[in-house]
Amino acid sequence: MEVVLYAILVGLVMCIGLMVAVIMLLQKLSRVHKKAKPTVGLSREQQAKLREEATQQYEAMMVRELQRFEKSMQKFSDELLAKMQTHIGNPDVELEKTMSGLMATTTDGYSTALEQSVGALKARLSSVDALLTSHAQGADGQIQALVEDRKARALARADAELASIFSDYMAQVATGLDYGDQQAYILQQLEAIKPQLVEDIRRVG
């Protein structure tokens, strides 16, 4: 890409140089024509002679200017090509070497670091697995104990609060409760378990 840009630049410079040379030649030609003005009023032979001299001078000047321009452009072109070789050709090789080395180093380092990271990650996962396994072995018992403890606490709390809850409930909903009904219920339940009670008392006695 840079080579193409340099070539375009060289072509552009040469075109500009050519245009500058043409402009300079036209200016010199104009000066030659100004020098010839005092010849107005000369004879045809004198005018033809002057025109012939001017034409020769113009052609000689054109040759000189073109030779000078050609040398200048050749020099510029050589310097430009030398610079291109210096700054584009050779550095490419070095750069390629440098980049290759850098890429190799980076790739190797990246691979090594990646392998180390994967190894560390695997070790970490193994330790986590071991930790989870050990926790899982003791977790069943702990969870069971926790559940039992919470059940016991819930029942104890229910026992403690049930009386007041029921009293409030009765006060609000069952205001017409007849305790005579409860006595009948108790006697009925005693009657239901009477055989067991008789047997228990007989054994105790």
What are the residues binding other proteins (CB under 8 A)? 147, 150-151, 154-155, 158-160, 162-163, 166, 179, 182-183, 185-187, 189-191, 193-194, 196-198, 200-201, 203-205
Nearest-approach distance from CB 205 to other proteins, in angstroms: 5
Residue 95 or 177 with smaller CB distance to other proteins: 177
Residue 34 or 203 with smaller CB distance to other proteins: 203
**Which amino acid, 66?**
L
Residue 85 or 144 with smaller CB distance to other proteins: 144
Nearest-approach distance from CB 152 to other proteins, in angstroms: 10
Nearest-approach distance from CB 135 to other proteins, in angstroms: 22
Which tokens go with 129? 């697995």
Nearest-approach distance from CB 115 to other proteins, in angstroms: 50
Residue labelled with tokens 């200016």: 27
Per-residue 3-state assignment (H helix, E strand, C coil) for the chain? CHHHHHHHHHHHHHHHHHHHHHHHHHHHHHHHHHHHHHHCCCCHHHHHHHHHHHHHHHHHHHHHHHHHHHHHHHHHHHHHHHHHHHHHHHHHHHHHHHHHHHHHHHHHHHHHHHHHHHHHHHHHHHHHHHHHHHHHHHHHHHHHHHHHHHHHHHHHHHHHHHHHHHHHHHHHCCCCCCHHHHHHHHHHHHHHCHHHHHHHHHHHC
Residue 67 or 144 with smaller CB distance to other proteins: 144
Nearest-approach distance from CB 142 to other proteins, in angstroms: 16
**Is there a contact between 47 and 39 (Cβ–Cβ < 8 Å)?**
yes
Nearest-approach distance from CB 109 to other proteins, in angstroms: 56
Residue 41 or 180 with smaller CB distance to other proteins: 180
Residue 35 or 150 with smaller CB distance to other proteins: 150
